[in-house]
Structure 1
Amino acid sequence: MLLAAEARPGRHGDLWLAVGPGGFPRLAVLRPATEHAQEQERIRLLSQALDCSDNAIFLCDSQARIRYVNEGFVRMLGYAPDEALGKLPGELIRGPHTDAATLDRLGEQHRAGRAHRDHLLGYRKDGSPLWLSVVATPLADASRSLVNVFTDITESKTHEVLNGKVLDALVREEPLATSMALVCQEVERVAPDLRVVVTRREADGQLSVLAAPSALMPADGTAAWDHPACMQALRRGRAVEVKDIASAPMFDSHRATLLGLGLRGCWSNPIRSTAGQVLGTLAFHCHRPGPPLSWHRRLAELCLHLCALALEREQARSRMHRLAFYDVLTGLPNRVMFNALSEQPLMQAEQQGAPMALLFVTLDRFKRINESQGHAAGDGLLRDLARRLHDIAGPESVVARQVADEFTLLVPHCAQHQAVTLCEELLAMVAAPNVVGSMTLHASASIGVAMYPEDGRAMDTLLRHADLAMRRAKDEGGGRFRFFSADMNRLAQERLLLEATLRDSLRHGGLRLHYQPQVQGDGSSLYGVEALLRWRHPHLGEIPPARFVPLAEECGLMTELSRWVLEEACRQHADWRRRGLEVPRIAVNLSASTFELPSLVDEVRQLLERHQLAPGALVLEITESVMLSEQPQVPANLHALHALGVRLSLDDFGTGYSSLSHLHRLPISEMKLDRSFISEIGHDPTASALILSVLRIGESLGKHVVAEGVETEAQRRFLIDNGSPALQGYLFSHALSADDFEQWLHDQVPLQPPLL
């Protein structure tokens, strides 16, 4: 029976009742059933959330001893709850490379009940390492207990350290060895149980060390690396794993060294480029035997990517350096690198007062070799010449390819008499038969020599003077050498003046054409005229074509000059026609480069239409080099011009060795018998026989033959008696201005145009 009762409200909506049956006090708590169930569910969910977390969450008391661990703690570190409770966290995660100072600092913070955070390398129960982020938060009560959270940051720390620092080094374009040393350093910092070696594959197929701990560097002081696992990874192109160096047969010659350093396991991986080429190897050495841990494999994958990036960048840099400073065809230094390499010999020559020779070497008629034998043969000749020049010059000399077929040799401690001997050896070497592929080439060279210090103390001066001497040797026929002399400077200045004036004359009307008659063999009528270019220099007077035409070729004016000649010849021919002067045809010489122009046929067509000339009135003279050209545009132009009705004449026929074999391939209407044969009529029976052969060839092929250079009546009579169709030479007339030619034509017996 209830004797007395007092009800008081409690926390959370509970009702506390005080009762006293039989005089004894009692206390009862009445709680709503629904609220109790909710509280139990909340606790269950909280426990589930803690246990499902990947983080290790545990509660420590004021003495830093563990009172509670979640399931994440068990999964991360491998300790069961009963193994962890009552222990200090440091006792569980301490390992051979854990930083003791960091552990002590964390313990002090913990015992003081202060919140703290840090990173450190710890170990699981099975001894495997992992990087941990440690965060400790004190409870909101007076117990000085802390909630601790361990987060596995192994992956993120690896990427942060390696990607951050190594990529920064690559961006700053640090030397390759520096970047690779940084890779090794950072791997060993985050994984102190490893020792790392990075190697590069050299051109000879061997490995050289880029970065390695000093204890693992080759004992002989070289960079050569014959580590068996790395060599196998290089040859096989796949990873090689050695679980225990102590028992692996491949390490017989390296075992003592590696075991002496406490290294037991080794894993070597090939470093591959994006194209799959093996660039080198990455080797991890571990202080414990066994296969690599999964973390080590991830480290290797990341490092392989970074190493490949660095090695490919170095290869690209090396290729760019070679392209910038070395000749691709011959492998010799180019002009820029030659100047750089010459600085040291010049400085030493000045300090020692020693003589030095600079040789400028060029092949004679190299363009003809390219045209007749093909560029492959020419390239082979240049490569062989480069090798021979290097062999003859000696190790102290600097050999370079300047441009095209031009080479330079800087020879220290070389007096003039020694330079003479060297030039003679070089000329003999170049003149020797040279087998390139299936062809045997016979070449010659021209060499110019400038001596230090007599001909200059600066490299640009020596180069300019050696170049002038080389051009003198070439102008004298080639196959010889010449030393620089003071008069060459004068001639060079004159040449510069000529070039500038020639450009001005071409563009402002300073050039003119003269016309030399061509007559029928019997002298009864005019066959045509040949337009010949003339130039009067304002100060030097008449400059012969043999002097200014090569100049125009060298300075790139020939195409423009040829166009001017063609335009002026057609204009003059049209003018004569309008005024009733019967000139059957006009012959014009065009440069070889003009026949390579894709626009040539259209330009000729428009020119004929503009001046109202029949295509047959124009004869274009071509040289043998044009006929032999390998440029596909040249034969296409020749056939198109023939189809247009323009006549083609082969100039200087008989002087080349390939003319006959090409005559049938091209639409040649006319052959010009070279003056060198005509001058020998009556003196050399061989020349007369050759003339007869050419006349018969022309007759049998249905081609007109024009004999040029006829100067005597005996020559004329011989040619007429043997059926020469057309003659040209001083016997009939020199080349005349347009006005003088008109007068010459009026002074002749009235001529009828030939029937062709």
Structure 2
Amino acid sequence: MQLPKTSLLSEPVTVASLLLKVPPVEPAMPVADVLQLFTDHPKMVAIPIVADGLPRGVVNRKTFIEGFTKPYMRELLGRKPISSFMDGNPLVIDMHTGLDDLSHTIMQSGMHYMHDGFVITEHGKYAGMGTGYDLMKAITERTQANLYRLAHHDALTGLPNRLLFVDRLSQAMAQANRNERLVAVMLLDLDRFKAINDTLGHTMGDRLLKGVAERLASCVREDDTVARLGGDEFTIMLPEIQYIQDAATVAQKILDAFTRPFFLDGHELFIGTSIGIALYPFNEDLNLLLRDADIAMYEVKQQGGNNYQFYTAEMNTASLRRLSLEGALRRALERGEFVLHYQPQFDLARGEIVGAEALIRWQHPDLGLLGPMEFIPLAEENGFIIPIGEWALRAACAQNRAWQVAGLPPLRMSV
């Protein structure tokens, strides 16, 4: 897959895109002949007057014809040279000028050029004419294209965003249903990205994300889609695959690609990625398909990261349990559900207790006593670990003090 250009705005368009090959006339051409040209070409807005390849003036259709509506005017002035009636100060623009610059020039020089048209040159020589109508049409089309890009692509990497990804996934699922093929959805989260971003700064983090986007794009086919959902989260769609192993092959290719370091401003950065994979038609709902990939990705995170997993139904059960624990964890501290168990530390030589280690447990109202491995990772992930840690320190110190008040000797307390 070829990575889109980072800039979401369309490339500058030049005046050359507006070029109309209007045949010029010589300054000495009689007025009557110019009138006949306008009669023969009813759509011609203006006629350029050119001598020796250089633009000399312009004759505007409406103004010119209105001046010769009366027959006697044609008889009196019909043989005069057109140079006597031309606008000798036309707007002359080089064909390599950008449309934005042309618009600015017209606004400064006079908006009548939008109606009269303008002369287009190349290296100073007459090349053709341009019209205000075509200029407005080109600007409108480019604006609409830019708005579409901004709405459907990630501003940092130029990759499709969630909106475009979902649209493409919907189409791919419909196509796969007709052709009896599979669609793989991969959700990727970068391992240790937050640490790198916090240490080296957001500018370096953004550059790393761009490098990741390029590397992911190099691992897939032209018809596949790599998108950035936000932060350090990316997603990949593999349409029209025949075997489940095809998705595994791409996932392994991505993991192998991430074994190579990223070099940024003298820093050699190694970063892994956790990949969750869900497959259509094993789940035919688009939103649930994305959810399944997310659940599988989280499972990889729980197992240490830098790997890939396919979604299984068992993961959903674990995910629901995790969500339930996360909700209860928010209230556990307020409800006083945490308890400390103390493991004594013996001095074998003296045969006496010299210290104790405080071990936290959660007395869950429905699930009973839970060990730290059930809830500490959740607390670390959601920012609850700091208040829980503060509570554990205070509770352990208070217990140590209570033992001393009860007459026990001072103990070394580990938390």
TM-score by length of 1: 0.38
Instruction: Give deviations 1:423-475, integer Å, cap 9, x for gaps.
Output: 12111111122222212222222211111101x11221111111122222233
- Name the counterpart of 1:453: 281
Distance 1:323 1:567, change over 3 A: farther
Residue equivalent to 2:91: 267
CA distance 1:504–1:583, change in 2 (3 Å): same
- For residue 138 of structure 1, what is the aligned residue in structure 2? none
Q: Which residue in the other structure is 1:408 paired with?
A: 235
Paired residue secondary structure (1:508):
coil
Going from structure 1 to structure 2, the CA distance change for 1:320 and 1:517 (only over 3 Å counts) comes to farther
The answer on whether the counterparts of 1:450 and 1:463 sit within 8 Å (CA) in structure 2 is yes
Does residue 293 of structure 2 align to residue 469 of structure 1?
Answer: no
Q: Is the 1:529–1:583 contact (alpha carbons within 8 Å) kept by the matching residues of 2?
A: no
- SS of structure 2 residue aligned to 1:470: helix
Q: Conserved in 1, the CA contact under 8 Å of 2:159 and 2:226?
A: yes
Equivalences for residues 568-647 of structure 1 within 5 A:
568-583=395-410, 586-588=413-415
Q: Percent identity?
A: 33
User: 5+ residue gaps in structure 1?
Assistant: 1-201, 217-242, 252-262, 271-276, 285-291, 589-756
d(CA) in 1 for partners of 2:244, 2:346? 56
Residues 297 and 401 (structure 1), Cα distance of their counterparts in 2 relative to 1, 3 Å cut: closer
User: Distance in 1 between the 2:147 and 2:360 partners?
Assistant: 47
Match of 1:207 in 2: 14
- SS state at 1:561 partner: helix
Distance 1:282 1:372, change over 3 A: closer
Give 1:130's aligned residue: none
Q: Does 2:267 correspond to 1:439? A: yes
- What letter is aligned with 1:505? A
Higher RCO (CA 8 Å, separation ≥ 6 residues)? 2
CA–CA separation in structure 2 for the residues paired with 1:540 and 1:438: 51
* Structural mapping, 1:380-399, within 5 Å: 380-399=207-226
Q: Where in structure 2 are the equivalents of 1:52-131 lying within 5 Å? A: none
- Per-residue CA deviation, residues 357-396 of structure 1 (Å, 9 max, x unaligned), is 1111222233343355554444333211111212322232
Q: Distance in 1 between matches of 2:244 and 2:15?
A: 45
**CA 1:311 to 1:357, structure 2 compared with 1: closer, same or farther past 3 Å?**
same
Cα distance between partner residues in 1 of 2:372 and 2:386: 15
Is the contact between residue 279 and residue 308 of structure 1 (CA under 8 Å) also seen in structure 2?
no
8 Å Cα contact 1:207-1:280 kept in structure 2: no
Match of 2:363 among 536, 547, 551: 536
Hey, what does 2:110 align to over in structure 1? 297
State the SS of the aligned residue for 2:258: helix
1:353 aligns to 2:353 (yes or no): no
Question: CA 1:329–1:457 in 2, change beyond 3 Å: closer, same or farther?
Answer: same
Check 1:244–1:283 CA distance in 2 against 1; reply closer, same or farther (3 A cut).
farther
| Residue 247 (1) aligns with residue 52 (2) | yes
Work out which of the two has the higher radius of gyration on C-alpha atoms and give 1 or 2.
1
Structure 1 residue 510, shift from structure 2 partner: 1.4
Change (3 A) 1:363 1:297: closer
1:300/1:548 CA distance change after superposition, 3 Å = same
Quickly say closer, same or farther: Cα 1:537–1:323, change in 2 above 3 A. farther
CA distance in 1 between partners of 2:153 and 2:167 (Å): 12
Q: Which amino acid aligns with 1:417?
A: Q
CA shift at 1:417, angstroms? 1.9
Change over 3 Å in CA distance of 1:372–1:282 after alignment to 2: closer
Going from structure 1 to structure 2, the CA distance change for 1:461 and 1:298 (only over 3 Å counts) comes to closer
Which residue is 2:373 aligned to?
546
Q: Deviations over 1:322-356 (max 9, x none)?
A: 66653333222333342233222222223333211
Is residue 493 from structure 1 mapped to residue 320 from structure 2 by the alignment?
yes
Q: What letter is aligned with 1:502?
A: L
Q: Which residue of 1 aligns with 2:342?
A: 515
**Conserved? CA contact 1:279–1:311, under 8 Å:** no
> Judging changes above 3 Å, is the alpha-carbon distance between structure 1 residues 330 and 559 closer, same or farther for their aligned structure 2 residues?
farther
C-alpha separation between the residues in 1 aligned to 2:332 and 2:409? 31
Shift of 1:309: 12
Q: 1:379 to 1:547 in 2, by over 3 A?
A: farther
Q: One-letter code of the match for 2:100?
A: L
Compute the displacement of 1:550 (Å).
Answer: 1.0
CA apart distance, 1:509: 1.6
SS at match of 1:327: coil
- The Cα shift of 1:409 comes to 0.4
SS at match of 1:502: helix
Q: Distance in 1 between matches of 2:279 and 2:307?
A: 17
Aligned twin of 1:281: 102
Specify the SS of the correspondent of 2:158: coil
Q: CA contact under 8 A between 2:13 and 2:99: conserved in structure 1?
A: no
Displacement of 1:207 in angstroms is: 1.7
**Amino acid corresponding to residue 437 of structure 1 in structure 2:** D
Q: Does 1:429 align with 2:257?
A: yes
8 Å contact 1:268–1:281 — kept in the other structure? no
- Which position in structure 1 is the counterpart of 2:246? 418
Mark the CA change 1:315 to 1:483 in structure 2 (over 3 Å): closer, same or farther: same
- TM-score, normalised with respect to structure 2: 0.65
Q: 1:297 to 1:473 in 2, by over 3 A?
A: closer
Q: How far apart in 1 are the matches of 2:137 and 2:412?
A: 71
> What is the Cα-based RMSD across aligned positions, in Å?
4.5
Distance, in Å, in 1 between the alignment partners of 2:262 and 2:200 is 13
Structure 2, unmatched stretches of 5+, are 1-8, 23-47, 57-85, 118-133
Q: 1:522 to 1:336 in 2, by over 3 A?
A: farther
Q: How many residues align?
A: 334
Asked whether the 8 Å contact 2:91–2:113 carries over to 1, the reply is no
Deviation by residue 1:511-550 (Cα, 9 ceiling, x = unmatched): 1122345577976887654433211334444322123111
Q: What displacement does 1:418 show?
A: 1.2
- The aligned counterpart of 1:669 is none
Distance 1:460 1:309 in 2: 41
Match of 1:343 among 170, 195, 204: 170
Specify the code of the residue in structure 1 equivalent to 2:374.
R
